[in-house]
Every structure is written in structure tokens, then in C-alpha cells.
Structure 1
Amino acid sequence: MIGLAATAPDPVGPPPQPDAAAAPPSLLSPLADEPTTPDPTPSGADASPTTGADHGKARSARSLHNGELGSAATRPSPSPTLAGMPRSQPARIKIPRIGVDAPTAPVGLDRNQQIAVPPLNQPKTAGWYQLGPSPGEVGTAVVVGHVDSRATGRAVFFRLGTLKPGDTIEVPRKDGKTARFIVDGVARYPKKKLPLKAVYGHTGKAQLRVITCGGDYDKAAKSYKDNIVVFATLAL
């Protein structure tokens, strides 16, 4: 699950929630499968190096709680029969329909062996999970971001839940190319029932998941109860 905590003194109200019609039926039902195990071995000249400790941590990543993302996307071995782009670190993420044009920063795993997210003092920055595929590579790339913050109120992905199938997401990359994705669907899940394989599993295509918080705000836990997940596929 993803537990990007709301940090506004008084939350600015629940973020927009996805329309049930925006999610195909296959994305709505939580799966009882074990999470996929990420392959923490990025390749390419611009990929950040990883250590042996990083590899062990990646294999044990399971959940995101109070600001950390759990079971990450599987990064499959590239196949010549699958269409995708070479590995390259993303520089920004642009979602025209909701006015997002934000920098991205690579994130790895924190001390709890969970995927880290951008610092709370960078609410307008999105985090790319660098131990998985880069956006445009064959596999499931993951980008996370905060929904609100004490400093700004609304954060980078506050309006993520308003996206619809057919909307576009653009990810300019450091190799000068842009990975352009088409939204397949948007769904909201209770954090404890996130369908891990549906969200992070390999589909045989170059795909993107953009994740933030949603649902009702839990004042005691200081976080939202749900996750909003955008499913998107590379447009070729």
C-alpha cells in the first residue's frame, strides 16, 4: 500500500475521487495474491548504482505505510518481441488534464526497507522508483507523489483521481525523449487491500502506475485511508 500522509494542519478536504466508471472491472477487485518481487538491477549509463544491501532491501519491500511505498513493480528482462524504450531516468511528469508539470526525483528504499517518497518539504516533486523500470521501458514503472502538505495545501497529485481513460501522461526523460502514456483506468483501493499484482505486476507491455492517497482522512493516523492508482500504457 501507499501511505503518503496528509500534512496540512487541516486537510484541504478529500482529494477528488475517481469515478467508478473510470476503472475497468479487472482493476476494481482486490487480488489475494502474494506481491511480485521487484528486480532491483537497473541498467543503462544514467541509472543510479545499487549496492548489495540495496538488492536485499528491494526483495523484502512489501508495503508503503506513513509515507513509504511497498511491493514495487517487477522489472522483467527486456524481450525483443516487446515494444518499449531504452532505460533512461525521468526528468519530469506532465499530466495536462490536471495541470501537473512537476520534476521527478529517483527514490529507492528507506531504513524500513520500504520504497521512499519525496521529502515532505518537496510536495510538488514526484518520486520515481529507480529500482524498477524507467517510464517507457518494458515493465511497470512506478511514480508516487503526495496529495497535500502543510506548506502548500494541495500537493503534486491532489487531482489525480479526476483522470479518465484516454487522458495522457508525458514523462520527459534525461535521454531527451518523452515517454507518452495513455490512461487505461483509475481506481481507488483501501490501503490494506491494494491488489499488488494488478498494480505492480508485469503485463508484457511498457506501463506506468501513478499513485497517491485518497478516500477519507484518518485524523488519528494522520493519513488518508485509501490509495488512488492510475493505470497507463505507453503509446507507440
Structure 2
Amino acid sequence: MWAHRLGRILVALLAVAGVVLMGTGITRLPARPPQPSGVPHRAETTPGLPPLPRAVPVELRIPTIGVAAPLVAVAADDAGALEVPPLDRPGVAGWYRPGVSPGETGNAVLVGHVDTRSGPAVFFDLGRLRPGDTVHIARKDASLVRFTVDAVRAYPKDRFPTDLVYGPSGAAGLRLVTCGGRFDRDSGGYVDNVIVFATRTP
């Protein structure tokens, strides 16, 4: 009981202290043509499940962790860093518009804050996902795309796995990216990125 209460107090103190996911703190865009690499995933989209045409994703739902979030398009800023949704909208996630849309062949990338000054944000519980959990994305063409989690991993920010996130794929894949690990007060951000790898399933 005391440990649980202490944990809640620490979360509250961090929020008051201004723990935020900085706008340039998620990742960098790939600086070279990405190459395939070896994260666990299904080799190809389920047979009989053809890739979908491009369509703007509008909502993200992750039942296991209670996420139901609108999606906004993001790209890169002038410094080449991936944009994120505005901090005053912590419940919103971003879709990397220059990449594929969810359901197309390739890896669709979604990003979101883990927390803000006001408390937990849309991807606060992303690290709780496990292989077999499902992610659903509603698209503007009225289709609903279902993905199944293959792996959840944390990487130091200075060793972000660009190839695994942005790299080519023969399947309709999904990458969910946020911050995690230890909070570094000197830099004002978290030291790791938490990444969920998922593949489209019926």
C-alpha cells in the first residue's frame, strides 16, 4: 500500500516539476535509405489480406491500455526532427504523413507524448503492451485496420533504430513511438524511446 502511494506521489511530483516529452525528443528522421533488419515480425501480411490503398488515419484505439485518440498528421521540422502533436493536446497522437498510411504495405509510424506538465499523455502506458495485444486504426475512408503487436522494445535515444521504424517491409506494419526510461533532469527529457512493433491482421 505504501509503495503504491509513494509511486503515485512521485508521478505527481514529476508532473508538477514539468516532465515533458520535448517536441524534438522522440526521434530523428532517417538520414539515409533504410535497410531491412531483424525485429520479430510476421514475414508478410496474412494471406488473403491484400494491402489497402492510401487513406488518412483519423483515430487510434488500443483496448488493452484504454487508448482512444484522434490522430493528426506530422512531418519533419526545419532541423530534420520528427514533429509531435502539440503539448496542449496530450490525448492526441501523430501520424508520420510522409510515410505510408496504416494498412498500406510498409511501416506506418505513429508518435505520441508519454506525459506533459499536466500529467500522463496518450502513450503513457505504451510500454505495458505485449505480443498478441491489438491496435485498431480508423481511417478517413471508413475502414478499420487491425494490427497485432509483435514486440515492445526500449532503445537509447542516441541509438534509435531508424531502419526498424522507417525501413521497408513486405507487410503492412505499424510502429508506435514514445519516450521512456529514466528521466534526465539535465537534458529535460527521457533517455530512451519505447517502440511497439505490430503487423496487420484480419
TM-score range, shorter chain: 0.7 to 0.9
Deviation, 1:86, is 0.8
User: Contact 1:66–1:223 (CA<8 Å) still a contact in 2?
Assistant: no
Question: Please, which runs of 5 or more residues in structure 1 have no aligned partner?
Answer: 1-6, 13-63, 75-80
**In structure 1, the residue corresponding to 2:145 is in which secondary structure?**
strand
Q: Work out which of the residue numbers 66, 74, 78 in structure 1 matches 2:24.
A: 66
Q: Work out which of the residue numbers 87, 91, 94 in structure 2 matches 1:120.
A: 87
In structure 2, the residue matched to 1:24 is none
User: Contact 2:27–2:157 (CA<8 Å) still a contact in 1?
Assistant: no
Q: How does 1:109-148 map to 2 (within 5 A)?
A: 109-148=76-115
* C-alpha distance in structure 2 between counterparts of 1:226 and 1:68, whole Å: 9
* C-alpha distance in structure 2 between counterparts of 1:208 and 1:66, whole Å: 21
Deviation, 1:65, is 7.2
Deviation, 1:195, is 2.0
User: Contact 2:106–2:169 (CA<8 Å) still a contact in 1?
Assistant: yes
* C-alpha distance in structure 2 between counterparts of 1:147 and 1:226, whole Å: 12
Deviation, 1:70, is 1.6
**In structure 1, the residue corresponding to 2:163 is in which secondary structure?**
helix
Identity of aligned residues (%): 48
User: Contact 1:82–1:205 (CA<8 Å) still a contact in 2?
Assistant: no
Q: Normalized against structure 2, the TM-score is what? A: 0.79
Q: Normalized against structure 1, the TM-score is what? A: 0.68
User: Contact 1:82–1:204 (CA<8 Å) still a contact in 2?
Assistant: no
* C-alpha distance in structure 1 between counterparts of 2:187 and 2:88, whole Å: 20
In structure 2, the residue matched to 1:28 is none
* C-alpha distance in structure 1 between counterparts of 2:146 and 2:106, whole Å: 15
**In structure 2, the residue corresponding to 1:182 is in which secondary structure?**
strand
In structure 1, the residue matched to 2:145 is 179
Cα gap change, 1:104 to 1:208, in 2 (>3 Å): same
* C-alpha distance in structure 2 between counterparts of 1:114 and 1:186, whole Å: 23
Deviations 1:152-201 (A, max 9, x none): x0000000000000000000000000111000010001111122212321
* Structure 2 residue 169 is the aligned partner of structure 1 residue 162: no
Q: How does 1:43-54 map to 2 (within 5 A)?
A: none
Cα gap change, 1:65 to 1:193, in 2 (>3 Å): farther
User: Contact 1:67–1:116 (CA<8 Å) still a contact in 2?
Assistant: no
User: Contact 1:83–1:205 (CA<8 Å) still a contact in 2?
Assistant: no
Letter aligned with residue 200 of structure 1: Y
In structure 2, the residue matched to 1:216 is 182
**In structure 2, the residue corresponding to 1:91 is in which secondary structure?**
strand
Q: Work out which of the residue numbers 17, 33, 45 in structure 2 matches 1:10.
A: 17
Letter aligned with residue 89 of structure 2: Q
Deviations 1:33-83 (A, max 9, x none): xxxxxxxxxxxxxxxxxxxxxxxxxxxxxxx97345322597xxxxxx993
* C-alpha distance in structure 1 between counterparts of 2:100 and 2:16, whole Å: 36
Cα gap change, 1:103 to 1:233, in 2 (>3 Å): same
* C-alpha distance in structure 1 between counterparts of 2:23 and 2:90, whole Å: 17
